[in-house]
Amino acid sequence: MTVATEEHVRRLPKVELHCHIEGASRAGTIKELAQANGVTFPVDDPADLYHFTDLNQFLDIYAVVCASLQTADDFHRITYECLEDAVEAGVRYREMFFSPGFVIKLGVPVSTVWAGVSAAVIDARADLDIGCRMILDFDKPSGGGHALEMADFAGAQDRDLLIGMGADSVERVDHRPFAAAYESAGRHGLKRTMHAGEDGPSDNIALAVREFGCERVDHGFRLLDDPELTAEIIDRRIPLTVCPTSNVMIANVVPDVASHPYARQRELGVLATLNSDDPGMMRFDVADEYAAVVGAFDYSLEEMEQISLDGITACWAPDDEKAALRSRFEAEFDQLRSSYGLPARNGAG
Ligand code: ADE
Ligand code: ZN
């Protein structure tokens, strides 16, 4: 067992599977875009806006951020910039959410959003050392009709850029009307995921994986409440995209990372990946998250390298891309170890 230092784990290569472009946007950019679009911003520094003590408050502020985003160029800018920031956090591959429900309500068509987002992904792939695919999250409170529209829109786009459909926002809504949207997403060959068991019950996780065909679950904080479901998730190797610090800061369902069920989930054999959620609005990225779990759970370097590799296992890239990522990560693990005077790994992972 090798001691993991914070500095070392920040530098590990990472995959990130739970990150929202709107919540990952830079505060300064949002202020500039608000001014350019004639949107009144309630404070000088948008960072001063980012004070929330539960998911509802967080989403109210999220809506203010979204109101500043109006043109395809705006969406290009926040998408590209948050991929630049991801590179700084050691992310080599990311599957990222965009949530058009907020701006659709303000009159911005989803096609405008996607024009900017997809162009930024193409540009970032060419310019930056990062791979990326997008997941369209429909807005749960907007209901089943909106969900179906989003599934059909997503289904008509280039699958190499838009790989999946998910759902976010508050959980305390009736989820049954989303069945048709998930069915349509499946027919279109989209991968499926859903925010579930974040501030709502484990029943929503069960719905996602038993009724909606979800291949991943976003958050899954409440999974261990249901031992049978936990056994099923382990058995079917359905990954969770866990965001411990977000659960402390946004959903406020746990007082600190040390009290989070992440370590217990992994001990039991759940494929629980590690992610940031909304790094811009939280001012806390996935490198900070790696450092946080080392501090909270005393993880060894081997465990942290395994967490990094689990991101590759859980991602939706084609098999050849996953194999290339794995080889690259393993080589980088050994280079990093060598730079800290540590012996190479011995075939772990
Ligand atoms: N949208 C952005 N972050 C979210 C979260 N943590 N939960 C639900 N919806 C979100
Ligand atoms: Zn999220």
Q: Please list the active-site residues.
A: 198
What's the confidence (pLDDT) of residue 47? Answer: 75
CA 234 to CA 38: how far, in whole Å? 50
Residue with tokens 């217990």: 264
What does the pLDDT look like over 148-165, one tens digit per residue?
999 999 999 999 999 999
Residues near ligand 2 ion, CB 5 Å cutoff: 277
CA 290 to CA 293: how far, in whole Å? 6
Distances (CA, A) of 55 to 198, 200, 349: 9, 11, 36
Give the mean model confidence (pLDDT) for residues 210-232.
98
Give the mean model confidence (pLDDT) for residues 210-234.
98
Ligand 1 proximity of 22 Cβ (cutoff 6 Å): no
- CB atoms < 10 A from the CB of 155, how many? 18
Q: List beta partners, residue 167.
A: 138
Query: 204 C-alpha vs ligand 1 centroid, how far in Å?
Result: 15
Ligand 1 proximity of 250 Cβ (cutoff 6 Å): yes
Share of the chain above pLDDT 70, in %: 99
CA 281 to CA 61: how far, in whole Å? 9
In the chain, domain spans: 6-339
What's the confidence (pLDDT) of residue 171? Answer: 95
Position in ligand 1 atom list of the atom nearest CA 199: 7
What's the confidence (pLDDT) of residue 50? Answer: 83
Judge contact between 103 and 137, C-beta under 8 A: no
What does the pLDDT look like over 22-32, one tens digit per residue?
999 999 999 99
φ, ψ for residue 46 (rounded to 5)? Answer: -60, -25
Mutate to test the pocket of ligand 1, among 54, 195, 247, 248 (most ligand atoms within 8 A of CB): 195
* CATH code of domain 6-339: 3.20.20.140
Nearest to 90 by CA among 173, 9, 210, 183: 9
Would you say residue 267 has pLDDT above 90? yes
Position in ligand 1 atom list of the atom nearest CA 219: 6
CA 253 to CA 244: how far, in whole Å? 10
Q: At 228, which amino acid appears? A: E
Helix, strand and coil in the chain, % to nearest 5: 55, 15, 35
Mutate to test the pocket of ligand 1, among 277, 281, 284 (most ligand atoms within 8 A of CB): 277
Query: 272 C-alpha vs ligand 2 centroid, how far in Å?
Result: 15
Distances (CA, A) of 73 to 64, 150, 161, 348: 18, 21, 18, 44
What's the confidence (pLDDT) of residue 22? Answer: 97
Nearest to 301 by CA among 343, 269, 260, 271: 343
Position in ligand 1 atom list of the atom nearest CA 99: 1
Ligand 1 proximity of 199 Cβ (cutoff 6 Å): no
Query: 308 C-alpha vs ligand 2 centroid, how far in Å?
Result: 19
Residue with tokens 């608000």: 34
Judge contact between 91 and 128, C-beta under 8 A: no
What's the confidence (pLDDT) of residue 345? Answer: 92
Nearest to 121 by CA among 135, 107, 108, 109: 135
Give the mean model confidence (pLDDT) for residues 140-155.
98
- Helix residue ranges per DSSP H, the chain: 6-10, 27-36, 55-67, 72-88, 101-104, 110-127, 143-155, 179-187, 202-206, 227-235, 244-249, 262-268, 279-282, 286-297, 301-314, 319-339
CA 193 to CA 166: how far, in whole Å? 5
Task: Find the range with the poorest average confidence among 139-143, 147-151, 342-346.
Answer: 342-346
DSSP type of residue 158: -
Q: Residue 20: helix, strand or coil by DSSP?
A: strand
Judge contact between 232 and 263, C-beta under 8 A: no
Strands (E) located in 243-325: 272-274
Element counts in the chain: helices (H) and strands (E): 16, 9
Model's pTM, two decimal places?
0.97
Ligand 1 proximity of 195 Cβ (cutoff 6 Å): yes
What's the confidence (pLDDT) of residue 346? Answer: 78
What's the confidence (pLDDT) of residue 347? Answer: 57
Ligand 1 proximity of 282 Cβ (cutoff 6 Å): no
Share of the chain above pLDDT 90, in %: 93
What's the confidence (pLDDT) of residue 349? Answer: 46
pLDDT band at 110 (very low <50, low <70, confident <90, very high): very high
Q: Residue 346: helix, strand or coil by DSSP?
A: coil
What's the confidence (pLDDT) of residue 42? Answer: 78
Would you say residue 281 has pLDDT above 80? yes
Judge contact between 107 and 154, C-beta under 8 A: no
Would you say residue 57 has pLDDT above 60? yes
Please, what is the average pLDDT of the chain?
A: 96
CA 273 to CA 63: how far, in whole Å? 27
